Structure 1
């Protein structure tokens, strides 16, 4: 192949071997470190973030492999030109023994020169391999080269070659070629014009590199990154919708409402919703208090399993049904039975726990039922205890479930605390369907009961809720959302 020299530039000297060897050693050390990172990258193909991390590692390893091979070529110099003698290939399509094996890193870089004065074309053996052409066939002229290029890439190649030949501009670009076997390869070309003594272009030389694998790795990185961004956007959108729905169903109470608004035995109320520590998705926890037409007060708390918009909308449906039946005068035990039937017949089966209390202010009597839910805690005169729960299984656990009721006489100054399991999670998660709310974590409930002296000193129900939040914290490592509701009987 003719020397790539212009008339007014001397030949570039090869870099010292020691310098290139040092770069090769650094590259190989980095390659080993990158291999270790790749081994530690998540291999689970179902996780978008794991796929993106794995694709980035593969791309980095691919680039380091190419860099190592290119530095080795730089150190060793160009391969010797094949000698054309009687030792020609024995059959069309065979390659010289000195050629790199197809698909190797060294076979990805080839070179060519087109002499405009003699119409001679010189290709390296690697370029034949890149384009998938028979080494015995003559190399393609500049006029013939576009015939192997994809139609949509031909204008770009033509513009690069024209700029090089007419305006002596260097070439740096990519185009896609179709090999005889139909395989499409992406080729990156860098080249320069070789000027004659009078400054006109005498020939054009170029180095062509097969970057198909590199571009494929880059596309994989881009696609996995886009998939990860879409997943994050979807999660953010779902969370925003769930939060908006939850806030619409459970608006924060202003101050400490009093129910009923008039008469003896009024309850001073306060409540708080505590998000999970991850805050990724909103769950199905709720608290509620409602002034009923007959003068009674409805108190309830519950939790629908799962997270996200579907669960929050299910919680809204359940809470709406609970309120409607309570307004119609349905007693707590019967009410929970109807909610169980509603969940059992739902198109999207779910499990839920709930505690439903009907407070009669004239007699200061609490009638309550539970469905696999922590029992209310009663605090009186500086001590606390959990109410003995009546029978009740999880909502949606079994068809035709019957829920018992219990009554508790309250006194002025008594404090009732309802909470969901996310606040004080039991060791085994939800209680089994055959239990009656007895799977609470005893030590954790003891922490709530230990707050009795502080509740006695609190001036308002809101102060009691703040005490609970201080004890368990809004940033506690909770896996689930939680709700707490405090009702204090006015003195």
Structure 2
């Protein structure tokens, strides 16, 4: 029966694991059948054809062992925390066993000086058939200079000591190509136990070795990139710790006055990039007794996000201390981000709060609006116009005001919670925050309120960090 696999008719499609299991079974069955054929061979050992066939069967068994090892690795999947070694099995010398390649056979008769080569030998060594086979004395002229000593030792072991040999050498063909070949040879002894001839099987493993070098180079490159990523992650975390020390300790701020403010903030890290995202928040007491509140999210992770955050946060604090209002502050911040050597995009919300009057003035750059919780219910404030930082040059940011009353809770957050892995929209997450109104109404402090929000959203899977800031207005 002919095979069902043809070039113009694809094989039936299976699941990846099922296909691998089937290939493993086929490989094991074929390996067993080949081993059985090798055991059943009963031809006299002085038959040159039999020796060549036996060598090919041995090579085929090695190749099937390698294939089985590779399929087992494929089935097991990538080992956790390491880079898989895909160079194959292990030979007697501890190195990787070669995979299939072009095979040629040869025999040198030491008594008659006769030499016989298969057609593949000529192809491997790049020698025209018209020139005939090379003698053992001529063969070293093809061997790569650095491998000459190894080749001489191998042939000596075979001819003088009567040992079978198996090793790799490099040869230089007449056309200048350097090939790596595996040489397997055995001595043929006469009736007196002396070496009468040497037969050999030569296999071109050049393509295999090039592939292995490419694999090793790729593995080294991957390891280097992984190490670089770990170093970058550590540096970015240290930079953020230096820039936002108070954030790491859960930011808090209290202001006294008729409409006193108590502030607390917390962060919800994501799994892919813990501690190194672009989410940030800050609060600063100003000289006139007011408070500057700021929260935002920069694109990217790692060192770029951390360095951009350091620049941005320094600018926010400096302009806040200079008395610049939220709208103009975001305009200057947009100009700074737009002219940065490392272009980024970011959302931001800046606000000034006066505890004497309860006035909350704010502006936003593509950022979610604050949520106001009052008398047991919540709503999102109507946002003034404002585009993302870095989106366009010369952007103007409007400013809005709302008067807060004792007992009010104001929740500011980045859009990290609005991008969960289940792709729930921003509106759904805002509504989920608003449903917390009854629970938030029962809290006694800004810290307790922030903890309630973190407990609610801490169990959610997110593709980005999140930052939550809670302002509680006291009596």
* TM-score under structure 1 length normalisation: 0.73
- Structure 1 distance, partners of 2:285, 2:349, is 17
1:374-413 alignment to 2 at 5 Å?
A: 374-413=368-407
Task: From 220, 230, 253, give the equivalent of 1:258.
Answer: 253
Matched, 1:442 2:427: yes
CA separation of 1:306 and 1:417: change in aligned 2, threshold 3 A: same
Query: Which one of 308, 315, 323 corresponds to residue 321 of structure 1?
Result: 315
**2:450 matches 1:465:** yes
How many equivalent pairs are there?
A: 405
Secondary structure at the counterpart of residue 417 of structure 1: strand
Deviations 1:64-113 (A, max 9, x none): x976xxxxxxxxxxxxxxxxxxxxxxxxxxxxxxxxxxxxx6xx211222
Which residue pairs with 2:286 in the alignment? Answer: 292
Matched, 1:479 2:474: no
Whole-angstrom CA distance in 1 between matches of 2:262 and 2:173: 82
Q: Is this contact kept in 2: 1:239–1:280, CA < 8 A? A: no
2:153 is equivalent to residue 159 of structure 1: yes
- Rounded to whole Å, the distance in 1 between the matches of 2:181 and 2:275 is 46
Contact 2:52 2:105 in 1 (8 A): no
- Name the counterpart of 1:271: 265
The residue correspondences of 1:145-224 to structure 2 (distance < 5 A) are 145-224=139-218
- State the secondary structure of the residue aligned to 1:423: helix
CA distance in 1, matches of 2:128, 2:250: 86
Q: By how many angstroms is 1:331 displaced?
A: 1.4
Q: Which residue of 2 aligns with 1:357?
A: 351
Unaligned ranges ≥5, structure 2: 1-43, 78-82, 90-95
Question: Secondary structure of 1:294's match?
Answer: coil
RMSD over aligned Cα, in angstroms?
Answer: 3.7
Matched, 1:304 2:298: yes
Q: Distance in 2 between matches of 1:473 and 1:242?
A: 23
Question: For 2:143 and 2:53, how far apart are their aligned partners in 1?
Answer: 33
Deviates more, 1:269-278 or 1:192-201: 192-201
- Residues 386, 277 of structure 1: CA spacing in aligned structure 2 closer, same or farther, 3 A cutoff? same
Matches within 5 A, 1:63-212: 108-212=102-206
The Cα shift of 1:281 comes to 8.7
Contact 1:378–1:387, Cα closer than 8 Å, also in 2 = yes
Q: Does 1:238 align with 2:223?
A: no
Q: 1:199 to 1:467 in 2, by over 3 A?
A: same
Q: Is the 8 A contact 2:251 2:282 kept in 1?
A: no
For 1:82, the equivalent position in structure 2 comes to none
Alignment match of 2:242 (pick from 240, 248, 257): 248
Contact kept in structure 1, 2:252 and 2:265, CA below 8 Å: no
| 1:256 to partner: Cα distance | 6.7
**SS at the partner of 2:231?**
helix
Deviation digits for residues 6-64 of structure 1 (CA, Å, limit 9, x no counterpart): 9xxxx88989xxxx9xx99x97xx99x98xx9xxx9xxxxxxxxxx99x96999xxx9x
What is the SS of the residue equivalent to 2:310? helix
Question: d(CA) in 1 for partners of 2:248 and 2:122?
Answer: 77
Gap regions ≥5 residues in structure 1? 42-51, 68-104, 430-439
